[in-house]
Amino acid sequence: MNPLNKTINLAAELIRCRSVAPEDDGAQSLLQEKLHAIGFQIFEVPCQGRKNFWAETGRDGPLLAFAVHTDVVPEGDLSGWTVDPFAGTVRGGRLIGRGAVDMKSQIACVVSAVEWYLSEIGGPGHLTFRLGMFVTGDEEPEGNFGANAILDFLAGRETRIDYCVVTEPTSQEEFGDTVKIGRRGSIHGEIRLLGQQMHSSHADQLINPIFRSLPVLKDISEFNWCPGNAYFPKTTFQFTRIQASGGASNTTPAELSCEFNLRFSSETSAQTIQNQVEKILSDSGVNYRTRWNCNAHPFLTEPGPFTELVRDAVRKVSGIHPQYSTSGGTSDGRFIAARGTALIEFGFVGNMCHMVDESAPLEEIDKLQQVYQQILIHFANHPTLGHRKPDA
């Protein structure tokens, strides 16, 4: 079978596993079988009912890992789909199904590239580095029971990933135009402003939390959050919910609650943002409570030999010089990079992620497996990165 058909078949097989977390539906055992057959040792790392595993091959030398997730978001509104979302249908030059873009086709591309590379060099015994597969079953949407479980397992056996490629869709307009070297942080806040429920004819502005919220929320929303830097856009603020009701048209509410989200750069921190909001609140003299949840801290891999190597691999296949970016949502990269790994993300154009009729062009699948092949070749041939130290 030609290599592209093999990759498409594996991607379609993975799509047929309905792996909406916490379900896995056979996706990981399918991958384990493939990886085991080409010389990987498998270590299962289950966590809170989620399946995860680490696979490794190669004797010694620096550790390069590909990080993937097998879970997908639910199919959503089924009436919008023109095919069964879990059938893995090929139509009009595209593979269609939930996870076609994010990220089952990309997993198939990695497995094909690794299989090709190992056979090219004559088997894992000829690797000059160690090769890992970091496979989580819990990335969407919070990712609490996936990446960190594997990282703790690796720490327990004193294994550190030196270099990592996360196979998320990163291209913006055209395949190859963007690689991600970091991601913004994300913090969610809730403010409760306390007042008094009263007949509206008796209440004044001091006890009505709606009145009291107006200058405060204006100050918070207009605050000059940090401007970003060479790799990060400026920090953004967004209200996501506001609610206050006295239950009747002539009654003031006892409380106003408001939720908001900030996406922030590595120039600031979750703690600094919290302090700024709390200062505005306490300076205003309102009676308030806050609740915070930071589910992603920002990370950045400064451009260097590894990020350049990946860029070269992308350019070689796509003919495009990719830009470095830190935009978009979160990924498992944030957990892995936090442990001191040089990390980069590259994959398809991501505009079909999570949509109905999610689909990947077969042509991009072909190119992506070639990019991952090139990364392996470039890594092995790199003068400093991909070699074990000469025997002493």
- For residue 53, with 0-12 CB atoms within 10 Å meaning exposed, 13-18 middle and 19 or more buried, which class applies? buried
Q: Using CB under 5 A, which residues numbered 290 to 309 contact Zn ion? A: none
Is 71 a known active-site residue? yes
Any idea of the CA torsion for 246, 247, 248, 252, to the nearest 10 degrees? 0
Of 103 and 191, which CB lies nearer to Zn ion in the complex structure?
Answer: 103
Answer yes or no: are the C-beta atoms of 64 and 377 closer than 8 Å.
Answer: no
Query: 63 or 101: whose CB is closer to Zn ion?
Result: 101
- Binding range to Zn ion, per CB under 5 A, among 41-49, 162-170, 240-248, 280-288: 162-170
| Least CB distance to Zn ion at residue 193 (A) | 37
How many chain residues are in contact with Zn ion, going by CB under 5 A?
A: 3
Point out which span in 166-174, 274-282, 297-305, 312-320 binds Zn ion (CB under 5 A). 166-174
Nearer to Zn ion, 111 or 191 (CB): 111
Helix, strand counts (H, E) of the chain: 9, 17
Q: Pull the structure tokens for residue 166.
A: 């996360």
Count CB neighbours of 2 within 10 A. Answer: 8
Burial class (CB in 10 A: 0-12, 13-18, 19+), 391: exposed
How many angstroms separate the first and last alpha carbons of the chain?
44
* Contact (CB, 8 A) for 380 and 300: no
Q: How far is the CB of 139 from Zn ion (least distance, A)?
A: 6
Among residue numbers 66 through 105, which ones bind Zn ion (CB under 5 A)? 102-103
Q: Please say which residue, 103 or 203, places its beta carbon nearer to Zn ion.
A: 103
Which segment (125-133, 168-176, 192-200, 365-373) binds Zn ion by CB under 5 A? 168-176
Distance from chain centroid for Cα 313: 21
The answer to whether 115 and 38 have CB atoms below 8 angstroms apart is: yes
Secondary structure (3-state) at 319: coil
> Residue 252: which of 304, 194, 299, 307 has the closest Cα?
194
Stretch that binds Zn ion, among 48-56, 144-152, 163-171, 297-305 (CB under 5 A): 163-171
Q: Which is nearer to Zn ion, 203 or 343 (CB)?
A: 343
Q: Can you list the alpha helix ranges (DSSP code H) found in 21-140? A: 27-37, 104-121
Give the residue ranges of DSSP H helices in 186-293: 209-221, 270-284
Q: Is the separation of the CB atoms in 101 and 348 below 8 Å?
A: yes
Binding piece for Zn ion, criterion CB under 5 A, among 39-47, 73-81, 167-175, 377-385: 167-175
The residue (of 141 and 285) whose beta carbon lies closer to Zn ion is: 141
Cα 11 to Cα 22, 110, 111, 205, distances in angstroms:
20, 11, 10, 61
| Minimum gap (Å) between residue 163 Cβ and Zn ion | 20
Using Cβ positions, the residue closest to Zn ion within the complex turns out to be 102
Find the shortest distance in angstroms from Cβ 68 to Zn ion. 9
CB atoms within 10 A of CB 5: 11
Min dist CB 186 to Zn ion, Å, is 15
Q: Which of 56, 71, 138, 168 is catalytic?
A: 71
Write the interaction track for Zn ion spanning residues 101-120; mark x where CB under 5 A is met and - where it is not: -xx-----------------
Kindly tell me which of 103 and 181 has the beta carbon lying closer to Zn ion: 103
Task: Classify strands 323-325 and 178-180 as parallel, antiparallel or unpaired.
Answer: parallel
Find the shortest distance in angstroms from Cβ 86 to Zn ion: 17
Q: Which of 24, 75, 138, 139 is catalytic?
A: 139
CB of 345 to Zn ion, least distance (A): 10
- Residues near Zn ion, by CB under 5 A: 102-103, 168
| Positions marked active-site | 71, 139
